[in-house]
Amino acid sequence: MAGKVKRYRVLVGMDYPPDRRAEPGDVVDDLPVKSIPWLLEQGCIEPVDDKGGDS
């Protein structure tokens, strides 16, 4: 069984590969894995639970 996909709420508008755009409030699950740690650290994204709320 594959691992569960983590979702994140975007807090700052951003462009990310490949040719994607997310605006504040969007919940996404396709951010580049290597970018997630620094996006979290910089306060650009926050994790959300399965129901779409804060983790």
The pLDDT, as a whole number, for residue 55 is 55
To the question of pTM greater than 0.75 for the whole model, the response is: yes
The pLDDT, as a whole number, for residue 7 is 97
- Asked if 48 and 55 touch (Cβ cutoff 8 Å), the reply is yes
The pLDDT, as a whole number, for residue 53 is 57
Give the separation between CA 38 and CA 16, rounded to whole angstroms.
Answer: 14
- Asked if 44 and 10 touch (Cβ cutoff 8 Å), the reply is yes
What are the average pLDDT values for consecutive 10-residue runs of the chain, which has 55 residues? 80 96 97 96 94 58
The pLDDT, as a whole number, for residue 1 is 46
